[in-house]
Each structure stands twice: as C-alpha cells, then as structure tokens.
Structure 1
C-alpha cells in the first residue's frame, strides 16, 4: 500500500517499521494523515511521531478519532496506547513511561578507546550476516535469557526472533560473531527495513564461548553495514536504564527524540440506569467495610437493568422467570437484589456451587473416547487461526503495551486433551474474558440469592446436566470453532439483543451456538416446566434458565394458565417494545 510504503520511506522511529511491528504485534497497520496506527480488532496503537512536520496535538487528535472509527466498538470502550514525542494534555494522567530514543550517525568512527579491542576481537572472530535462525542462535538466546533479567517485552523479542526474520516485507538480519571452532560468540538482530536508518533490535553474547569485545566488534560491523546500505544513522532504541545508556553513549549514541507512552480506554457505553445507580447508593451506604465510598464504587462491575425477565401471574400469585447467559460483559446484581426482595425461592437449571462446578470440570478434562480429539478434526490452519482469535495480541508490542493476555488459554491442549463440549466452552470463555466479558449472569444470580439467604434449588441433577453437555453435536462445535473469525460480530449482536431484552433477536444470534439444538432445548424445557410448576404456582419464586429456553417455555407456561408478561425496566425498553411490536404478553390458553 502506498501510504505504508511512505511510512518506511519517511520513518523516524523503530515503530515506523511496518512489517516488523505487524509481525511482533500480530496487528494490522494503517495510516491516518501523517500518523501510523496498528490494530488487532480489540485494541489500537498510535505511533504519534508524524511522518511529516512536527507533532501537533490537534492534528494527532483528528487522526486518532479517524483511526478509532476503524476499530469495532466495545461496550466498555477501546483499549488504546500511544507513543510519541509528546501526547495530548488529556492523556497526562495515563502516561506510563518517559524516555529518549538514542541514535548514532552511520558515519561515526569507532571510538578511539575501542579501536584496539575491536581489532583484537576481529583477529579471533569471523563476522557473518544472514537471516537463518539456527540451533546455535537458539542456544545463545537460551543461555543469555537464562542468566539475564529481562523485561517481559524484551524476552518476547528473543522468543519471536525466528518469526520476525521471516516476516513478509521485512529486512531483518542477524549479525554473528563466530570463533575459529565455528561457535557463536555473539549476535545482533538488526532491522534494515526503514529507509532512513537501521534499528538495533536486540543482541546477546556467550559466556560459554566468550571472546572479549565480541559485541563491540559487531557494533563496528553494524556501522559498516549501515553505511553500505545507505542509511543515515542507527536507531539504538530507548535509554531504558543507566547501564544501557552508558553502553550506547560509549559508542557515541546520543538522545535524539523524546519518548512518551500512555495507555487508556477510549469511549464506551455510558453508565447504568437510574435503578442500578440507586442500587449502587444502597450498597455504598450499607457497606460495613473500611473502604471509602469512591473505592467501593470503583470496585463494582458495570451494572445494567435486567430486561430478559418475565412476570408470571396465576390465581393472584406472582413469580418471575429470567433468561440467563453463561458469560457477559456487565453485572445485573443490583437488579437481582431488587427482584429477590420479592421472592423466597430461586430456581436454577442445576446446582452452581463450587463443588458441582469442579466436578463438571474434572469430567470435561477427561475424554471418554466417544469423540475424536478436536485436533484430529480441525486443520492446522484452522487451529492457528483459533489460537490468534482466542489468545489475542502476542509478541513484543503486545507485552510492551500490556495488551497481551497474562495467562493465555492453551488452545492446542484443550483441543487435544478435553471433551469437545469442555473445549468449546473453555475457548469461548477465554475469548470473551479477553474482550472484557468477566461476568456470568447465572452465577451472579446464584451468588446473590445465596448471599440474601434465599432458598436456592437446582432443577436438574449433575448427571442430567452432564448428559445435556454430552448431547452437544461434535459437528456444531467444530463449525463454531471454524467460524471463530465471526465471533466478534456474534458477541456484539448477542450483547445488544440481551441488554435490550429482545428474545427474538437474542435467539436469532444464538442459532449457531453449539448447545442450541432442538433435541437439547425441547427435552430440557419439558423437564423445567414440570419441576418449576409447584413453586411458581405458590408464588414468590424466581426462576433462571438459559435464554434459549424462554421462547418455548413462555408458551408452555401460558398453557399452564399463567399470564406471562415481559418486565420492561426502563422507559427505553418500553419504547423499544412498542416500536418493534414484539408480543410481550402471553395470556393463559383460551383467553384473548
């Protein structure tokens, strides 16, 4: 692309090396105005060093706004990072690092005090240039990392050296110092991709095959290579600490550009409803802890009104039934507390206590041989794509910007060593958690009911629930995993439908979800109907089942003589229901 070629032609900092940055971050680069950006669907990085002219707050903000329009919006906003010579004043509270880029003119001579040591090293070592990452390099990298305390982002650079060397469009090279026995004494990784300069990326020297001043010899040859390639200077990276600064200054490196880094969250959906806010206030006022009100408020997850709820009335007695989601992006605890003030008993599909969940997990981790491992069904390309989607950004840039997941899911391990339904739920949960979906609607309701001292009952036994999991067709799991590229759109549609309380739209987004089969849904619906009926006929009961069960259960309960009326918690929900014309009231069979 012409604009990205321009970034290489007019590069000012190592971050302008587009192929290298894409390989490290696994993101996609694009230009907005004079500024380079990278994104990987759920995050955005801005390189705020303009390719032309000086940095200006207003120009950068315009480019940033345009770039944000390319990133899919999340409920809680977009995670952003920026590096630049300075950043807008509004980001002052988000600055995480300040430093300087060091550079060295390509025509700089070897410092006088290093000429003799470099000459002696040249007598004992042969310098080679190449792009092959050999077993000798792996041994040197492992030795160096084993004895040196490295930051995670630097360690990731060493770990991904082989990958970046093979990055399309990149001109990265290894500069090696080899002794007379052919052993690797030192090596540098250099990036020649940017037009104006060469970047010194990382380097290591061996103690096992130690040769004095091997690294200095490579620095001298690096200068020669830069001149040979027509580079004006060498980017030596950041100062980092006093020791690294001294080494760079020993070779004549000097601060060239200021460096400021910030990380923040841009945009996001506005706060919760008035009802949820009132719940916040009640919780804050009643809290017995020693935390301040602000600390309590900030520690709570985002609260939303619960719209996937129906009121059941029969014979002057009232109960409620709600559709849940295993994973979600916000909490409904305040809404549940309001609801549970009006009930004595809360029913769930099955038990959700820790012991039961642990038992289900153990079953899922031990295949019974009825289905082949998913690694035998999915192709290598499909597994790699699934890894990228589930694990998210990886590499040096992701670690540097804190965008990498601290403990990413073992995708291959789950596919190879667990039951198909356990792998599906685990991978989907890992993906959602990476996207900020750390809540569970049914678990939130269970824990809230227990905390409020309600009678809590599971309608199914553990054996019945596991049987439903085992009934999930392998083919649907495989299809869902193969379509992982659509997960983001699916997740966002599902979120909007659930928050709006639109059951029809909700089910329209979940037809491809593996457990949503007629066999599973219909069989369990009849079971739920029979087991909840004695409780809801008494009144004062709240029932929670998966949202996919609600479409048929509403009809069943109307057949049983209940008036089923959807609860619209805010005027927006009432207006939406009126405009869409959805049938939010079902009368008992035989009534108009």
Structure 2
C-alpha cells in the first residue's frame, strides 16, 4: 500500500508496514492498548508501522505516533526529530501524539488530554473479601459466557450506555467499530454476563494479544443491572489472563473518580502517565472560533 521511503538520517533507514517479525516483537513487548496493531488498525482504518522502538499509524490524513517505546526504556532523545521526519514522509494534515511529556511545538495544538494508565499485577493480586462478596452476590443471578459473537443484544446495551453517559463523537466512532474489532482480531473476546433466562445484562471485552499483558478494553451494563456484575466480569477476565500466563492486566485510563475506585478495589494502580495531543500540521487552520476555544 505504501512504498518504501528512504530517509536521510542515520536513525531512520526505512519505513514500511510492519512485517510478521515486527508484529511478534510488538506482541512480546506491548503494554498499552495503542501498541496493539489489530485494535488501532481496525478502529481507525490506519496502517501500523514501527520506527526504531516506536509504533505509529497512518491513514485518513492523520499520523498517530505512540511515544511509549516498546522496550519501556526512557523515550528517545531524538523522538521529536523522528516525528518531524515522519511528517516529511507522510505529509499528514493532522498529528495525534500519545506519550509522556512529549509535545510538538511546530504545529498548531487543537486539543490536549492528560490521565494515567492503570494496571493490576496478577502475580501479586489478592482479592479482598468485600470484592469476593460482590462476585458471589452477582454469581447467584448471573453466569459468564466467553464468546466472539457480537449481536443485537450488545448493540442495545451500548445504546443504553449513550442514554446515561456523555459520549464524544470520537468515542462513539470507536464503539461503532467494536463488532469489526472483535471479528478481525483473533485475540479479542467478549465476556457476557447473562441471567438464568439467557438475557444479556452486561458484557466486557478483553484483548489477550500481548505476551505479558491482557487488556480490559470495554465494559457495558444494561439499565437492568445486577450488583457486582462488573466484578464478576473482571474476575472471569483475570482467570482467563492467568490461564494464558499473563503478568498484568492493563485496565485502561483513570477517566473519573468512580472508575478509579473500581480499579483501586481490584488492586489497580496508575503505572504510566498518559498525555494526548492533537495537532494540525498544515498552514491552513480551522475557523477562528475553533482556534479560540480549542487551546492547550
């Protein structure tokens, strides 16, 4: 799809879509969801690449650079130079930069977000009695079904989620791609929580692509929820992760106090600072009002 590009700097020799060996390298070292080629590629329609120790994606006139090196060492001192060279090659209209204390001063910043990734160390996990009580409470009414079949019941619960939560257009777009994500990626599974009448009450989605990490990607509950249902789902995901010899579960971002409380009670801790920047790289900018209100 993309031709090989030769770059006149010694730390970038070629830029290609990932090879099988590079995909296996990502599998061995991935620790955040944005490292997962099938996930990002499916929800964004972008192609995955590696340059030095960094994953990045390109498509839809947007370059998405993941500033967390796969080796988990400190970000390369030349990371901004790498980004600039990639902009020269791909000539994107937009740059999405995800990293820790990595910003790009040569383009117009349209928005910025900060948070932290949370994870559970499975080798040290001790489930509290209160959490066990919630699991037992939910299991009296529900059972968990692991599947890859996404259907109308799942769509209905996602629609109910929209009614009770404020959801951005970008997030809605990702949710709309969930069926494609599940069907396209072999390591992704749905964990259904069903009652004794086979009615779907809630479901979670987890990705087991990486060698050391499982990723808790999404969780949705219907209006007719059951106390402890989210605990029951996560408990089953943890069992599956342990069966697949994972060391950690990445629980995603903190988002808000309620979400953080749930992650804390499961032994989750923030382990990596998250920063997201979205830039316009061309000289032609959006309207005056957009520039006025969308500032870093």
For the aligned pair, the TM-score class normalised by the smaller chain equals 0.7 to 0.9
Alignment coverage as a number of residue pairs = 265
Distance in structure 2 (CA, Å) of the matches to 1:46 and 1:131: 30
1:200-219 alignment, distance < 5 Å: 200-208=216-224, 210-219=225-234
Q: Which SS does the other structure have where 2:71 is aligned?
A: coil
Give 1:5 shift.
Answer: 2.7
Distance in 2, Cα, partners of 1:220 & 1:90: 44
3-state DSSP class of the match of 1:230?
coil
CA offsets 1:451-476 (integer angstroms, 9 cap, x no match):
xxxxxxxxxxxxxxxxxxxxxxxxxx
Kindly indicate whether residue 179 of structure 2 is the aligned counterpart of residue 162 of structure 1.
yes
Aligned to 1:236: 251
What are the ranges of 5 or more consecutive residues in structure 2 without an aligned counterpart?
Answer: 1-18, 289-296
Aligned to 2:147: 130
Query: For residues 305-357 of structure 1, what are the alpha-carbon distances to aligned partners after superposition, in whole Å with 9 as ceiling and x for unaligned?
Result: xxxxxxxxxxxxxxxxxxxxxxxxxxxxxxxxxxxxxxxxxxxxxxxxxxxxx
What residue number does 1:96 align with? 112
Deviation at 1:240, TM superposition (A): 1.3
Q: How does 1:78-89 map to 2 (within 5 A)?
A: 78-88=93-103
CA distance in 2, matches of 1:125, 1:64: 49
- Aligned-partner SS, 1:97: strand
Distance in 2, Cα, partners of 1:246 & 1:78 = 39
Partners of 1:232 and 1:181 lie apart in 2 by: 35
Is the partner of 2:255 in helix, strand or coil?
coil
Do 1:16 and 1:194's aligned partners in 2 also have CA atoms closer than 8 Å?
no
What is the alpha-carbon distance in structure 2 between the residues aligned to residue 9 and residue 114 of structure 1?
31
| Equivalences for residues 148-159 of structure 1 within 5 A | 148-159=165-176
CA shift in 2, pair 1:89/1:152, >3 Å: closer
* Alignment correspondent of 2:62: 43
Report the Cα offset of residue 89 of structure 1.
6.6
TM-score normalized by structure 2? 0.82
Aligned residue for 1:245?
Answer: 260
- Could you tell me which residue of structure 2 aligns to residue 52 of structure 1? 71
Distance in 2 separating the partners of 1:249 and 1:92: 37
Contact 2:107 2:279 in 1 (8 A): no
Task: Pick closer, same or farther for the CA change 1:159–1:190 going to 2, 3 Å.
Answer: same
Question: Within 5 Å, which residues of 2 pair with 1:35-434?
Answer: 35-40=54-59, 42-56=61-75, 58-71=77-90, 73=91, 78-88=93-103, 90=105, 94=109, 96-107=112-123, 108-167=125-184, 169-208=185-224, 210-266=225-281
Counterparts of 1:129 and 1:185 in 2: how far apart (Å)? Answer: 14
Three-state SS of the structure 1 residue aligned to 2:31 is coil
1:9 to 1:181, Cα distance in 2 relative to 1, 3 A? same
The answer to whether the 8 Å contact 1:133/1:162 transfers is: yes
1:99 shift after superposition: 1.1
CA contact (8 A) 1:32 1:67 kept: no
Q: Which runs of 4+ in 1 moved over 4 A?
A: none
Q: Aligned partners of 1:29, 1:53: CA distance in 2, in Å? A: 19
Q: 2:259 and 2:143 mapped to 1: Cα distance?
A: 26
In structure 2, the CA distance between the partners of 1:133 and 1:141, relative to structure 1 (3 Å rule), is same
Unaligned runs of 5+ in 1: 270-297, 300-592
For 1:54, what is the secondary structure of its paired residue? coil
9, 32, 36: which one aligns with 2:51: 32
Aligned equivalents of 1:32 and 1:248: distance in 2?
Answer: 33
Write the distance in 2 (CA, Å) between the matches of 1:57 and 1:262: 18
TM-score (norm. length: structure 1)? 0.42
Kept after mapping to 2: 8 A contact 1:201/1:237: yes
In structure 2, distance between residues paired with 1:49 and 1:129 = 31
Aligned Cα root-mean-square deviation (Å): 2.3
Instruction: Give the CA deviation at 1:150.
Output: 2.4
In the TM superposition, residue 127 of structure 1 has moved relative to its aligned partner by 0.8
State the Cα distance separating 1:131 from its structure 2 match: 0.6
Question: Are the counterparts in 1 of residues 43 and 178 from structure 2 also a CA contact under 8 Å?
Answer: no
Question: Residues of 1 paired with 2:30 and 2:93: CA distance?
Answer: 27
Name the structure 2 match of 1:512.
none
Q: Using a 3 Å threshold, how does the CA distance of structure 1 residues 202 and 52 change in structure 2: closer, same or farther?
A: same
Q: Which has the higher contact order (CA 8 A, sep 6+)?
A: 2
Contact 2:108/2:280 (8 A) holds in 1: no
* Larger strand proportion of the pair: 2
